[in-house]
C-alpha cells in the first residue's frame, strides 16, 4: 500500500503574477479574492487540496514588492515567513517576465528554507514556446530548481502535472485537516475579503491600497436562513471617504450590493449587509492601527 503524504506548499512571487488565480484554480473554489490591482492579497490564506494518497495544503501569500509603508513591509514579511517552513516552494512568474532584482532577493531570502523549490511559469496561454526558454534558462542559472513547470492558472493547463510533481516530493505524513475542509479561514474573514474585493473593483487611484475592512457584527438567524453582517470600510482621508461613498451614496450602495450577492453564494444563506466608511488617518503607516485592523 502506498504511503499517505501531506505537507505545506507556499505560493510565492511578485504582485499580479497569478498566485491567487492559481490558488483558486487548484482548490476548485474561490477562497482568495482576485482583482487586476497589484497587492490585492494581504494575508496568508490557507487552502486544502485532497488527492488520492495525499493532502496538499497551499498557502497563498502577498506579492513581494517594495515596502514603502508599514503595511507593505508587513505583507512582505508574511510572504517570506510563509515560505520558510513550507515543504514545497512554488516560485511563480509570468512570461515573458525576466529575472529582476526583487526575484533575486526573494529567492535569496528563502535559500535557508527546507522547502523543495519549483519554478512555476504562469500565463503560457499568452506566449509562444520559444519566448519561454530564455526566461526559464535565466532563472535556472540563478538558482537550482527541483522542477520547472509551465502552466496557465486561467485555463488550468499544466496544473494537474504540477500537483502530481508536488505530491512526489511531499513527506509521508497523516492528513493535517479533515477531508471535507477546504480552508481554515473564518466566515467573518471571508466576508471582509469579499467586501474589500468589491471596493477594489469599484474604485480607482490610491483608494484600493488605502482601504481595510473590519466586520463589526456577524449574526446568524437560522430560523430565517439569514445572516446579518455589519462592516466598516476604513480609509485614510476624508477625500477618500467621499469618493467611496459617491454621489448620494451610489458607489457605496453598488459595493454593498455586489458584496451581498457574492456572500449569499458563499454562505448559502440570505445576507443583510450594512456598510459604513470610517476615516482612520494614515492607518497603513501606523503600527497600532494595523494591529487593530488585523494586520499583525
Q: Is the pLDDT of residue 47 over 90?
A: yes
Q: Is the pLDDT of residue 106 over 60?
A: yes
Please name which of 258, 218, 196 lies closest in space to residue 33, comparing C-alpha atoms: 196
| CB atoms inside a 10 Å sphere around CB 148 | 15
pLDDT of residue 118: 95
Angle at 40 between CA 36 and CA 42, to 5 degrees: 165
Q: Give the C-alpha separation, 268 to 60, whole Å.
A: 24
* Range with lowest mean pLDDT among 146-160, 203-217, 230-244: 203-217
Strands (E), the chain: 5-12, 45-51, 54-60, 88-94, 116-122, 147-150, 212-221, 226-235, 270-279
Q: Is the pLDDT of residue 143 over 80?
A: yes
| Mean pLDDT of the region 60-86 | 75
| Mean pLDDT of the region 23-40 | 83
Chain-wide mean pLDDT for the chain?
Answer: 88
Q: How far is CA 151 from the centre of its chain?
A: 18
Task: Classify residue 183 by its DSSP letter.
Answer: B
CB 56 within 8 A of CB 166: yes
CATH 2.40.40.20 describes domain 5-169: no
pLDDT band per the 50, 70, 90 thresholds, residue 94:
confident
| Mean pLDDT of the region 193-222 | 91
Q: Give the C-alpha separation, 33 to 199, whole Å.
A: 12
| Mean pLDDT of the region 15-27 | 90
The whole-model pTM stands at 0.86
pLDDT of residue 61: 81
Q: How far is CA 88 from the centre of its chain?
A: 17
pLDDT of residue 79: 73
pLDDT of residue 5: 95
pLDDT band per the 50, 70, 90 thresholds, residue 294:
confident
Q: Is the pLDDT of residue 65 over 60?
A: no
Sign of CA dihedral 289, 21, 14, 50: positive
| Mean pLDDT of the region 264-286 | 94
Task: Classify residue 209 by its DSSP letter.
Answer: G
| CB atoms inside a 10 Å sphere around CB 293 | 19
pLDDT of residue 131: 81
pLDDT band per the 50, 70, 90 thresholds, residue 100:
confident
Q: Give the C-alpha separation, 205 to 202, whole Å.
A: 11
Higher pLDDT, 280 or 112: 280
The ranges of the chain annotated as CATH 3.30.300.20 are 187-292
Q: Is the pLDDT of residue 160 over 60?
A: yes
CA dihedral 239→40→47→283, nearest 10 degrees, is -40
pLDDT of residue 107: 82
First-to-final CA distance of the chain = 44
Q: Is the pLDDT of residue 205 over 80?
A: no
Q: Is the pLDDT of residue 149 over 90?
A: yes
Query: What fold does the segment set 187-292 form as a domain?
Result: GMP Synthetase; Chain A, domain 3 (3.30.300)
The ranges of the chain annotated as CATH 3.40.50.300 are 5-169
Amino acid at each position: 500500500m502506498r504511503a499517505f503524504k501531506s505537507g505545506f506548499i507556499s505560493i510565492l512571487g511578485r504582485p499580479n503574477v497569478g498566485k491567487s488565480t492559481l490558488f483558486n484554480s487548484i482548490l476548485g473554489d474561490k477562497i482568495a479574492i482576485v482583482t487586476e490591482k497589484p497587492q490585492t492579497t494581504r494575508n496568508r490564506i490557507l487552502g486544502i487540496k485532497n488527492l488520492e494518497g495525499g493532502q496538499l495544503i497551499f498557502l497563498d501569500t502577498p506579492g513581494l514588492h517594495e515596502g514603502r509603508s508599514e503595511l507593505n513591509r508587513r505583507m512582505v514579511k508574511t510572504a517570506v515567513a510563509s515560505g520558510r517552513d513550507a515543504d514545497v516552494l512554488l516560485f511563480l512568474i509570468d512570461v515573458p517576465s525576466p529575472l529582476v532584482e526583487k526575484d533575486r532577493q526573494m529567492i535569496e531570502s528563502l535559500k535557508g528554507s527546507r522547502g523543495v523549490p519549483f519554478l512555476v511559469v504562469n500565463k503560457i496561454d499568452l506566449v509562444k514556446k520559444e519566448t519561454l526558454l530564455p526566461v526559464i534558462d535565466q532563472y535556472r542559472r540563478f538558482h537550482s530548481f527541483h522542477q520547472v513547470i509551465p502552466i496557465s492558472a486561467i485555463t488550468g493547463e499544466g496544473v494537474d502535472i504540477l500537483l502530481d510533481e508536488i505530491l512526489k516530493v511531499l513527506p509521508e505524513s497523516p492528513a493535517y485537516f479533515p477531508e471535507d475542509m477546504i480552508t481554515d479561514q473564518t466566515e467573518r474573514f471571508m466576508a471582509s475579503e469579499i467586501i474589500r474585493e468589491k471596493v477594489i473593483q469599484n474604485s480607482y487611484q490610491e483608494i484600493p491600497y488605502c482601504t481595510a475592512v473590519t466586520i463589526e457584527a456577524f449574526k446568524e438567524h437560522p430560523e430565517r436562513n439569514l445572516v446579518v453582517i455589519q462592516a466598516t470600510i476604513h480609509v485614510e482621508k476624508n477625500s477618500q471617504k467621499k469618493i467611496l461613498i459617491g454621489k448620494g451614496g451610489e458607489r457605496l450602495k453598488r459595493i454593498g450590493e455586489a458584496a451581498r450577492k457574492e456572500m449569499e453564494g458563499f454562505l448559502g444563506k440570505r445576507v443583510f449587509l450594512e456598510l459604513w466608511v470610517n476615516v482612520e488617518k494614515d492607518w497603513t503607516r501606523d503600527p497600532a492601527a494595523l494591529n487593530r485592523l488585523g494586520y499583525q
